[in-house]
């Protein structure tokens, strides 16, 4: 048996070194290397079985034609938004990691999942963060109670509690394993993987070694039976799940719960999924009684829009396979001193710089002495260039103080010469806009024939940003406005 040794592990990427270093040569993170004492890894037991004499269950190669096809069996979920992100439901034997900032609602969402799944199946909820009492109080709240429930109400809720939901506060993995043996759950929820530890390892809970070993053990257990595992993971300040790479490789699916802390909308996004499409998004709203699904997010995001005010444009962005309409607001204001500022909220800062530069150089806007603010409403984040045109139009509309046509969506990527470029999945975007009652869409001119545009709205095809602004701004023509601009200067 090998004796325990010391090694140095980068807490960012999990790379191991034989000596301490100030910077990880693998992922270039500074001061991320921590000394960890290691006992022989549990995986060693496999090595013993590797020889022919070893007693491990042998796998047998099978002909492709002999393997049963068809989609995996899935545990259906009443929470449709959650099921969508998972690719249609929980796959038995799968292991899912769900990450997100503290307080964003991970525990709440998974407790709701547990309550729901525990009606037909058995669920074990292991928490290392909250006491059983606290979780119980939360469950009462989710099931319709308030902070100070009367005994009568509590009894009614109590009667409604799923009988097969087991709670335990535990952080020691070996003890958790025993609980699993006893309870035999169909679904195991571990809140959180960073508080779980294995006694054999001498590094502290939350270190890369602990996180990796604990999740590997749970994964083995999941794969050998049909138990599904959900792990909650914390996200570091840099926005990665602590021990990021290592964990992402071990699990089948990685979900992020994100949203603005000051907004109630929460997006559940799949960034990796062995059983479904990635980039799928489920939309929820955090309410008094937990997370509520938003089945029509576009309507929710547009609800507070003020029609006919300058500086507001509607973009259609794709989240996975789903088109979502969002309002983009722009505001320009004369710079008081120093360099003009470009402040994006929900948009990529570099995209905003590019849009401002193209507006200045190719559309004749004098934005050099203007601070620009651009905001995606509802705490939504857009990373695709298809929202360029809407962002540009919102900024110009604010600068000119002229509203954009109210029932119009703007879709298109802006090129450096001020041209508009086609974006993917245009028919799906237009159909969604039509469904929500929009009458007009301003889009890039189509150079290749494809699927015909949907009938329910008028599609205006334009070649350049300038033409798009002409058609989008109410009344005033962009070039006419430019003349007044010149007149103002003179
Ligand atoms: P929580 O699920 O504990 O977050 P995480 O596990 O991601 O750290 O959510 C905590 C926040 O959610 C807290 O600010 C209270 C709020 N909340 C509601 O708004 N409604 C609810 O029904 C519940 C249970 C929590
Ligand atoms: Mg929590």
> Per-residue pLDDT tens for 305-320?
888 899 999 999 998 8
User: 429-445 in b/e burial notation, b at 16+ Cβ within 10 A?
Assistant: bbbbbbbbebebbbbbe
H helix intervals, 276-425: 297-302, 349-362, 388-400
CA-wise closest residue to 16 among 199, 212, 272, 239: 212
Ligand 1 centroid distance, CA of 226 (Å)? 30
Sheet with 165-169: list strands edge to edge: 165-169, 123-127, 187-191, 228-234, 95-100, 253-258, 265-273, 281-287, 290-293
Ligand 1 centroid distance, CA of 287 (Å)? 9
Length, in residues, of the chain = 490
Question: What pLDDT is recorded for position 57?
Answer: 64
* Residue 388 neighbours by CB under 8 Å, 6+ apart: 351, 354, 355, 412, 413, 414
Q: 138: Cβ below 6 Å to ligand 1?
A: yes
| Residue 319 main-chain phi, psi, to 5 deg | -115, 100
**Under a CB-based contact definition with an 8 Å cutoff, are residues 233 and 194 in contact?**
yes
Q: 102: Cβ below 6 Å to ligand 1?
A: yes
User: Of the bound ligands, which one is closest to the alpha carbon of residue 105?
Assistant: 1
Q: Determine the Cα–Cα distance for residues 361 and 373; give it in Å rounded to an integer.
A: 19
Ligand 2 centroid distance, CA of 70 (Å)? 36
Nearest CA to ligand 1 atom 1: 105
Question: What pLDDT is recorded for position 247?
Answer: 81
User: Of the bound ligands, which one is closest to the alpha carbon of residue 98?
Assistant: 1
CA-wise closest residue to 361 among 420, 416, 422: 416
Query: Position of tokens 């024939």?
Result: 449
Ligand 2 centroid distance, CA of 142 (Å)? 15
At how many degrees (to 10) do helices 349-362 and 465-472 cross? 90
Question: What pLDDT is recorded for position 476?
Answer: 56
Strand-pair partners of 222: none
| Residue 317 main-chain phi, psi, to 5 deg | -115, 150
Q: Determine the Cα–Cα distance for residues 394 and 441; give it in Å rounded to an integer.
A: 15
How big is the chain by its Cα radius of gyration, in Å? 27
CA-wise closest residue to 177 among 212, 216, 218, 208: 218
Which stretches of the chain score pLDDT less than 50?
1, 43-54, 478-484, 486-490
Nearest CA to ligand 1 atom 23: 290
**Under a CB-based contact definition with an 8 Å cutoff, are residues 193 and 208 in contact?**
no
Nearest CA to ligand 1 atom 11: 103
Task: Compute the C-alpha angle 480/484/487, nearest 5°.
Answer: 140
Bond before 184 cis per omega within 30 degrees: no
* Helix (H) or strand (E) run with residue 273 in it: strand 265-273
Residue 9 per-residue DSSP state: E
Strand-pair partners of 14: none
Pairing of strands 16-17, 95-100: unpaired
**Under a CB-based contact definition with an 8 Å cutoff, are residues 207 and 16 in contact?**
no
CA-wise closest residue to 173 among 139, 143, 207, 216: 216
Ligand 1 centroid distance, CA of 105 (Å)? 5
* Helix (H) or strand (E) run with residue 464 in it: none
Strand-pair partners of 68: none
Question: What pLDDT is recorded for position 314?
Answer: 95
User: Of the bound ligands, which one is closest to the alpha carbon of residue 257?
Assistant: 1
User: 353-386 in b/e burial notation, b at 16+ Cβ within 10 A?
Assistant: ebbbebbeebbbbebeebbbbbbbbbbbbbeebb
Hey, which bits of 294-369 come out as E strands? 312-319, 322-334, 342-345
- Give, for ligand 1, the residue of 98, 267, 284, 286 to mutate: max count of ligand atoms closer than 8 Å to Cβ: 286
Question: What pLDDT is recorded for position 29?
Answer: 84
* Helix (H) or strand (E) run with residue 147 in it: none
Q: 74: Cβ below 6 Å to ligand 1?
A: no
Q: Determine the Cα–Cα distance for residues 56 and 112; give it in Å rounded to an integer.
A: 39
Query: Position of tokens 């699904």?
Result: 293
Q: 289: Cβ below 6 Å to ligand 1?
A: yes
pLDDT digits (tens, 9 = 90+) for 7-57: 888 877 778 888 888 888 888 888 888 887 766 555 444 444 444 444 556
Q: 286: Cβ below 6 Å to ligand 1?
A: yes
Q: Determine the Cα–Cα distance for residues 280 and 478; give it in Å rounded to an integer.
A: 38
Q: Determine the Cα–Cα distance for residues 441 and 313; give it in Å rounded to an integer.
A: 12
Ligand 1 centroid distance, CA of 112 (Å)? 11
User: Of the bound ligands, which one is closest to the alpha carbon of residue 130?
Assistant: 2
Q: Which atom of ligand 1 is nearest to the CA of 289?
A: 22
Q: Determine the Cα–Cα distance for residues 381 and 232; give it in Å rounded to an integer.
A: 23
CA-wise closest residue to 171 among 217, 209, 219, 206: 206
Question: What pLDDT is recorded for position 42?
Answer: 52
Q: Which atom of ligand 1 is nearest to the CA of 191?
A: 6
* Coil, helix or strand at residue 16: strand
pLDDT digits (tens, 9 = 90+) for 136-159: 889 888 887 666 667 777 788 888
Q: 100: Cβ below 6 Å to ligand 1?
A: yes
Question: What pLDDT is recorded for position 403?
Answer: 94
Q: Which atom of ligand 1 is nearest to the CA of 109?
A: 2
């Amino acid at each position: 048996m090998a004796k325990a040794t010391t090694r140095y592990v980068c807490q960012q990427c999990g790379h191991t070194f034989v000596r301490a270093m100030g910077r990880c040569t693998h992922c270039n993170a500074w001061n991320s290397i921590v000394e960890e004492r290691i006992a022989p890894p549990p995986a060693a037991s496999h090595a013993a079985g590797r020889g022919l004499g070893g007693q491990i269950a042998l796998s047998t190669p099978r002909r492709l034609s002999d393997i049963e096809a068809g989609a995996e069996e899935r545990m259906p979920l009443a929470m449709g938004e959650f099921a969508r992100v998972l690719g249609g439901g929980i796959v038995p034997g799968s292991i899912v990691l769900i990450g997100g900032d503290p307080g964003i609602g991970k525990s709440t969402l998974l407790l709701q999942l547990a309550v729901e799944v525990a009606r037909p199946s058995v669920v074990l909820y292991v928490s290392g963060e909250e006491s059983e009492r606290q979780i119980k109080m939360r469950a009462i709240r989710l099931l319709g109670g308030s902070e100070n429930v009367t005994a009568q109400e509590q009894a009614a809720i109590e009667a409604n509690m799923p009988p097969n939901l087991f709670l335990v506060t535990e952080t020691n993995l070996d003890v958790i394993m025993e609980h699993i043996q006893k309870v035999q759950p169909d679904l195991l929820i571990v809140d959180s993987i960073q508080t779980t530890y294995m006694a054999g390892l001498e590094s502290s809970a939350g270190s890369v070694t602990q996180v990796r070993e604990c999740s590997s053990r749970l994964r083995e257990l999941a794969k050998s039976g049909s138990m599904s595992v959900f792990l909650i993971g914390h996200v570091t300040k840099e926005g990665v799940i602590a021990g990021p790479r290592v964990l992402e490789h071990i699990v089948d699916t990685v979900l992020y719960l994100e949203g603005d802390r000051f907004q109630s909308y929460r997006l559940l996004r799949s960034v990796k999924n062995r059983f479904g499409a990635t980039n799928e998004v489920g939309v929820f709203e955090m309410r008094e009684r937990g997370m509520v699904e938003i089945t029509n997010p576009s309507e929710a995001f547009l609800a507070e829009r003020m029609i006919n005010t300058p500086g507001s444009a509607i973009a259609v962005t794709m989240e996975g396979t789903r088109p979502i309409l969002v309002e983009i607001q722009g505001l320009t204001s004369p710079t008081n001193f120093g360099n003009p500022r470009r402040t994006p909220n929900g948009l990529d800062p570099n995209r905003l710089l590019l849009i401002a530069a193209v507006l200045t150089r190719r559309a004749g806007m004098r934005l050099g002495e203007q601070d620009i603010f651009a905001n995606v409403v509802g705490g939504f984040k857009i990373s695709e260039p298809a929202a360029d045109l809407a962002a540009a139009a919102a900024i110009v509309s604010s600068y000119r103080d002229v509203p954009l046509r109210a029932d119009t969506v703007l879709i298109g990527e802006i090129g450096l010469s001020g041209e508009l470029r086609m974006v993917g999945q245009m028919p799906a975007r237009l159909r969604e806009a039509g469904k929500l009652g929009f009458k007009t869409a301003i889009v890039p001119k189509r150079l290749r024939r494809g699927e015909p545009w949907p009938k329910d709205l008028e599609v205006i095809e334009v070649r350049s940003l300038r033409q798009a602004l002409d058609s989008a701004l109410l009344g005033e023509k962009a070039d006419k406005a430019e003349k007044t601009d010149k007149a103002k200067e003179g």
